[in-house]
Amino acid sequence: MSKIFVDACFRKPTPYTPVWMMRQAGRYLPEYMKVRAQAGNFLNLCHNPALAAEVTIQPLDIVGVDAAILFSDILVIPNEMGMHLDFIKGEGPIFKDPIVTEADVDALLGGEVAADKLTYVYETIKLLKEQLPEDKALIGFTGAPWTLATYMIEGQGTKTYNLCKKMMYSNPELLHKILRKVTDVVKFYMEKQILAGADVVQIFDSWAAAIETSKYDEFSWSYMVEIAEYLKEKYPHIPVIMFPKGIPAFLDKVYGNFDVFGVDWGTPMAMAKEKLGSRYVLQGNMEPCRLYSKERTTECVEAIQNIMQGEGHIFNLGHGILPDVPVENAIHFVKECQRVSKK
């Protein structure tokens, strides 16, 4: 049975434009909060395949999205490379001993050895393949090497990225060494997600906007493209989605062997279509805060549909859904996307 989401990634005809939401398995759903409480904490939930599979499926049943995205976290990668990770309430993720020296990088596990430790992720995917309806695609994902490196160097989320950028400009060799090591793990991690049953994979570069445009290819995009190329060469039937957030000035320079380009809400869809629409299917890009108003949601969905005309497009938000969005508004978004694009 064909999957509408996979068909759309390959620009095949679909009865309507499929839709999903970043962070769709998340805190806005009371059902998710119940399972998370059962798990004890966020990391326990990531490590428990049965519960992670349960929350992955919730938005399909409750909200009606056209694809499931694996419930996990990008930081399980550095965690299994050997960095101690905690999620502190009110503070977010914390790495106790961030990377400072070359010796710190050398001490981390690399390549397939590190990827092999992420068994709970692959187990979750296998469970989902048994539980998901045949026509629903499962999206696997990873953080981009640059985004992962920011946490590994800063030790936590940051608004200034001063430690990473200090390294970028004063010791670029060390930063490239970190990016190389992470990239080699991510290649195997993505491959193992595909072998476990992921139908599509997405690479999230959440902190792309922290790099000036002239340096973006060197310190992020080239590594993302290398991962995509590795996957497409071995698994051409698996769509690869790239989502670099906040880099409209880089659109002219986008290149690489992948299928779908994720457009964030700060990049006008018409501009993305003009620059990239002939080469890549575009995904996005409603401002997530429009979900607070059904009227503003409908207005935006109609505007995006007018630009994309149901061709080479997947509906999504321009970043993740926020925790206090009413569930009925998320359902409204999905129904509106399906309504306006019905062929």
167 close to 153: Cβ distance less than 8 angstroms: yes
Of the listed 28, 32, 36, 122, which one is catalytic? 36
Closest by CA to 21, choosing from 287, 303, 292, is 287
ω into 316 cis (within 30 of 0): no
Nearest-angstrom CA–CA distance, 169 and 66: 43
Report the 10 Å Cβ neighbour count for 304. 22
Of the listed 28, 32, 122, 151, which one is catalytic? 151
Nearest-angstrom CA–CA distance, 253 and 214: 10
Of the listed 11, 16, 73, 217, which one is catalytic? 73
Active site residue 23: yes
Burial readout 261-277 (b: 16 or more C-beta within 10 A, e: otherwise): bbbbbebebeebbebbb
Active site residue 61: no
Helices (H), 14-82: 30-39, 42-47, 49-62, 76-81
Nearest-angstrom CA–CA distance, 115 and 127: 19
Active site residue 36: yes
228 close to 185: Cβ distance less than 8 angstroms: no
Of the listed 7, 11, 16, 27, which one is catalytic? 27
> How is residue 210 annotated by DSSP?
G
Active site residue 27: yes
Measure Cα distances from 46 to 16, 35, 67, 91, 195 in Å.
Answer: 33, 11, 19, 18, 19
Active site residue 151: yes
94 close to 136: Cβ distance less than 8 angstroms: no
Q: Which residues are catalytic?
A: 23, 27, 36, 73, 151
